[in-house]
Amino acid sequence: MASNTLAAEGLHLSGNKPAWQDADRWMFVFMAGLFLLIVLTGFIPSSIGKIAAVQSGERAPFLTVLHVHAFLMGTWILLLLTQASLVATKHGAIHQRLGMSSMVLMPAMVATGFLLVPANFGLVWGLDPSNVPSEVIAQRKEIISNIALAQIRTGILFPIIVSLALYFRKKDLGTHKRLMILATVIPIPAALDRISWLPNTMPFNPIAPNLYVLLLIFPLFAYDLLRHRTIPRAYMIWGAVWAPSAIVVYMLWGSSWWLSIAPKIMGVESW
């Protein structure tokens, strides 16, 4: 059984030690660390600026659900890095016990995310026309409606991929760990969009965030391709749901149908 698992991972035995073992373990630590770096780079400067705006009265205070969602997302990134590090340092038993927390953390993240979307709609639709120009309000309504497409997509894809990763945790460790990375990259555009020096197409269209996602997974994909000489099935599974959803979001982005239906879905008045 152990030999079969190693073969499935593309690990070739040299004595008693797989030749790729050390590099493989630390590659996943690198990916998790990269995600953490992007989240910190995107959210810390953005949050500092928004906190200053709240203190000066230029914007409304943060919603409680936003604080909760941000805490849960940060916890998930740290958990991913911790789990990858535990495997890299050969603490598999702790990794398995700690991994059970993802079964609670993931649905909590999704639930707060879906609560946050209509809450943001309520803020935008509640802007006072006597204080904010009507054209600015209309622009913000269009932006929040389009961004909701990306948020809904994330809220659907993230639990699907995480659930599949958990399903494979005892059947195929290689697929399990790759799907955990591929699941986590799905909400990363929320941080990327806040990095002002990165070229971006938002909020006009979602092309740039999708390209950045592909760029982020490229190091792991290239490593796997060089190591296996084939594409591990985790990428096939992920691509089968990620790519079609990207096309759907792109087609709906800014469309008159979506802009008219979004307020109804979110429980606010039509334009």
Query: Which residues in the chain show pLDDT less than 50?
Result: 1-15, 19
pLDDT of residue 128: 86
CB 141 within 8 A of CB 262: no
pLDDT attached to residue 3: 39
Core vs surface per residue 237-266: b (16+ CB within 10 A) or e: bbeebbeebbeebeebbbeeebbeebbeeb
Tell me what percent of the chain is helix, strand and coil, each rounded to the nearest 5: 75, 0, 25
With CA atoms as reference, report the closest residue to 138 among 252, 40, 6, 270.
Answer: 270
Q: What gap in Å lies between CA 12 and CA 72, rounded to an integer?
A: 39
* Residue length of the chain: 271
Distance CA 95, CA 169 (A): 11
CA–CA dist 117, 156 (Å, integer)? 13
What is the token pair recorded at 115? 């609560």
Angle between helices 233-252 and 173-184 (to 10 degrees): 20
Q: Is 118 exposed, middle or buried, given 0-12, 13-18 or 19+ CB atoms closer than 10 A?
A: middle
Report CA-CA distances (Å) from 258 to 48, 95, 148, 245: 33, 43, 10, 15
What confidence score (pLDDT) does residue 270 get?
79
Per DSSP, the residues of 153-217 read: HHHHHHHHHHHHHHHTTTT-HHHHHHHHHHHHTTTTHHHHTT-TTS---TTT-SHHHHHHHHHHH
pTM above 0.95, yes or no: no
